[in-house]
Chains A and B, each alone.
Chain A
Amino acid sequence: MSIAVRRHQPAGVRPGPPDGSDYVPSSYEARQIAKSFAGARALTGASVRFEPGTIHTLVGENGAGKSTMLKVMAGVHRPDAGELILGGEQLRSLTPRTAQQHGIYLVPQEPTLMATLSAVENLFVGILPRARLPFSVDWRAMTQTAGSYFEQVGLDVDPRQPASTLSIAQQQLLECARALVHRCNVIFFDEPTSSLTAHETEVLFDLMRRLRGRSFTLGFISHRLDEVFEISDRITVLRDAQIVAEFLPDKVTREELVTAMVGKEIAKRERRHRDLSGAETALEVDGLSASRAFSEISFSVRRGEVLGLAGLVGSGRTEIAESIFGVRPATGGVVLEGRPFRRRSPASAIAAGLIYLPEDRGHHGVFANVELERNITAATVGVLPRFGPLLRPAAEKEIAAKAAERTRVRAASLQIPIKSLSGGNQQRAMFSRWLLAEPKVAIFDEPTRGVDVGAKADIYSIIDSISDSGIAIVIISSELEELVLLCDRVIAIYEGRVVSEVAGDEITLERLGSMIVGEVAK
């Protein structure tokens, strides 16, 4: 069957055969894709070509543009520029729905099933088989055929079971089955393994290999390099919104791959060696627990020390930081500069000299429509110079300008809305906001997420210099290289507990890599 025919299928078409036997293999190519989000560039002229019968993996650091690329190709995001070419035909104005009609399916990082509907309804949603009466659904046919789709993807569940009772792994397999129902033969997996166990990952990989055997065109994203080498036929590296390298997995070493992902500019930086044994304790966390998220977390940070919190996504790192800062409730003690910090809230934390730079800048950091100047002074409005009860605009502007200069925020003016700045400049502005609060203890959660190389280097020098000035720093980062470069000491959080600790020259990529998966070996 031709693609042209598929495009005009009405909503109630028949589902595709469970074994995908009627598929025409086709390559799918993206040319010179550019995409920005609110001024932050996610892709700048990136091109990639996925071939049939191939598992093609995109790797790169957070914010490099991997997900954006797959989402553009699956019609989730509309590119600002560039072309999408499927089997020689250019696709225009792609939406998730038209992408599926063209045979392109994206298995999202977090499955998006309708929780209250049954597994079989989720499978056929959008193309429910019709019964003879108008507007009626052929439930019997649906339940009967569902079994064979589930079998194909290795999913063993009751079709009538609500989707909310399925595990994440099962939900992902159901998404794959849905792709088959929709006759899709280009299937993208956006970081599917980040929340799977080793066994579940193997089940998924088996399915991917079987689909490859049937000449499906497969795209994959993962942060776990072992997996990348295990499953990939091709590896494309993205960095700072661009494609920087393309490798065959048997012709590249791990180190070469990491260098391509991280970029030389950063890799050249040297670790600092400092002796902080005489410094006083600035932050002490004692037995901090919050139901489910984490328990019995204890650690301390000295003045001027940079402590890393390593851990997988979901290990509880961010929740711990948010609890210390008072965003979410927790039991246990926090002592700031020798004083117990009770009745925790962001307002009292800031007043006590503790600040927290959130990982999700868009939702928890910036006031998108508000001017850069007011974004910078937002956390310190209470202490700005005043005339009686009234703020003094000129003085405020001067303070904001100085703060912006210190962190090298690049902007045409302080009066433009912060959303028109790039991700890197927005993050620089967030640093200037929090440095204005003159903290004694600073927690930086993913301080370089979604910023370009230049901003990253600047942020590293800011962290260096404020730690030299005696501020205690806690850094949470998924980029282990970052922890190696910046930290004097690193503790690993695994499933809500502190499992191990390293300091000084023992902080290496390999060591951290094993620590974050829960290995305690000394």
Chain B
Amino acid sequence: MTGISPSLPPMPAGRAPARQRRSALRRLLAQRELLLVALTLAVFLVTFAVNSGFGTSGNISFLLADAMPLAILAVGQSIVCIVRGIDLSVASILGVAAVSTGFLAQDHNASVWLMLPLALAIGVCLGLINGLFVVLARIPPIIVTLGTLIVYQGVQLLICGSRTVVTVPTFYITLGNRNLFSDIPYMLVPGLLVTVLMAILLRRTSWGRSLYAVGSNADAAFRAGIRVNAVLLSAYAVCGMLAGLGGLAFLVHYDSANGQSGIETNIQLWSIAAALIGGTTLTGGKGGVVGSFIAALFLEVTIEAVIVLGVPQVWDSAAVGILLLAAILVDRYQSSGTSLRQLLAATLARGAQQRPERVTGERR
């Protein structure tokens, strides 16, 4: 220290303002990850009670493997959401990576260990293109990635021509559908690795810190000496890279890929939904990747449960939509200063042509 120690009298004992006291419910909701694990287990157990087939080891392993392409995409999506961005093009990046590696595997029996860096590289390149448009051209990310979603989709179709990937080497199928041991599928390994690695990078490195700072307030971040453009660019590159990895995961899990892979299931929207349910916000500066990973599992279990419970399949999307809105409401409640009772009172009061703020005002 260069002697910066103002000789101020000691700090008077701080009294916690009322707003900082938090109810038990609010603290529980703040633990988004735990809440999601609990909810996932609850959905699983209810479905298991109705149909014991849901709990067989084969099904558990399938659910885990089946959720991984989405989970990996959701982790990447969370990174761009933290910098107050969004990436709609992940579906096409996944598709391009899946068909590129797929044809090499089908036609040339290429090793999966060579395809892994290729998929990552494809993802990084396409992600960097997104980032460059966002950073240099200052186009809003939703527009940039809507554009590149369509352009990359064209690239995916161009690579396919009239063909599709239908047969891949056996090792690919093993990786995508067999278990490492007991009920743990090989697929879980990259998913977990990516999530844990990103979680550590987000929490414990300058880069991670910069992401939150830029997302919270880019002007302030610039003035705090953060290289905002580089940080934004890196976020899109990482998101693209993970979408590329997601493409390879897609290929090995489904043993096939075609010109519509990715976009036909709207996986880009699902990845955003998973990120939001996991506690990341579109307004930036908040969230993490662990929640997104669990949220992807939660979505997978919920959708499969809807099928198993015999609800018509058209309700799949409705279920996810409702979950998404519920997650946003929980966010709103958890971060607001009002108690649940006040929130309800305010809602009722609004019905009676009064403003919520008046109700809270009178309580003071």
Contacts and interface: CB of A to CB of B under 8 A. Distances in A.
B204 interface: yes
Contact of A466 (B4, B17, B222, B364): B4
B259 to A, nearest CB: 41
Interface in A468-522: 469-471
Interface string A397-421: 0000000011111111100100010
B19 A420 contact: yes
A93 B205 contact: no
A327 B220 CA distance: 11
Instruction: Name the interface size band of chain A.
Output: 35 or more
A438 interface: yes
Contact of A79 (B200, B285, B354, B361): B361
Contacts of B204: 390-391, 393
A412 B17 contact: yes
Interface string A411-450: 1110010001000000000000101001000000000000
Contact of A469 (B2, B216, B222): B2
A433 B213 CA distance: 14
Interface stretch (B6-14, B178-186, B239-247, B295-303): B6-14
B206 A382 contact: yes
B358 interface: yes
Given A370-B213, A381-B210, A80 B361 contact: yes
Contacts of A405: 11
Interface in A364-382: 364-370, 374, 378-379, 381-382
Interface stretch (A131-139, A253-261, A346-354): A346-354
B314 interface: no
A327 B222 contact: yes
B108 interface: no
Contact of B222 (A346, A391, A411): A346
A356 interface: yes
B81 to A, nearest CB: 13
* Residue of B223, B354, B360 with most chain A CB atoms under a 10 A cut-off: B223
B20 interface: yes
A292 interface: no
B212 interface: yes
A369 B354 contact: no
B222 A458 contact: no
A391 B286 contact: no
A461 interface: yes
A151 to B, nearest CB: 40
B225 A346 contact: yes
A347 to B, nearest CB: 4
Contacts of B162: none
A93 B224 contact: no
A389 interface: yes
Given A327-B223, A406-B4, A469-B2, A390 B285 contact: no
A378 B215 CA distance: 13
B227 interface: yes
B332 interface: no
Given A381-B206, A391-B204, A408 B8 contact: yes
Contacts of B12: 410
A83 to B, nearest CB: 10
A499 to B, nearest CB: 28
A407 B223 contact: no
Interface in B333-360: 354-355, 357-358, 360
23 contacts: A80-B357, A80-B361, A81-B364, A364-B219, A364-B220, A368-B217, A370-B213, A378-B213, A378-B226, A382-B225, A390-B200, A393-B203, A406-B4, A406-B6, A406-B8, A410-B12, A410-B14, A420-B17, A435-B4, A461-B8, A469-B4, A469-B5, A471-B4
10 A-B pairs with the lowest CB-CB distances in the bound complex, closest first: A412-B16, A367-B216, A465-B6, A469-B3, A347-B225, A350-B225, A390-B204, A379-B224, A81-B361, A412-B20
Given A364-B219, A406-B4, 10 more contacts: A80-B361, A81-B361, A93-B355, A351-B225, A367-B213, A369-B216, A374-B209, A378-B224, A407-B6, A466-B6
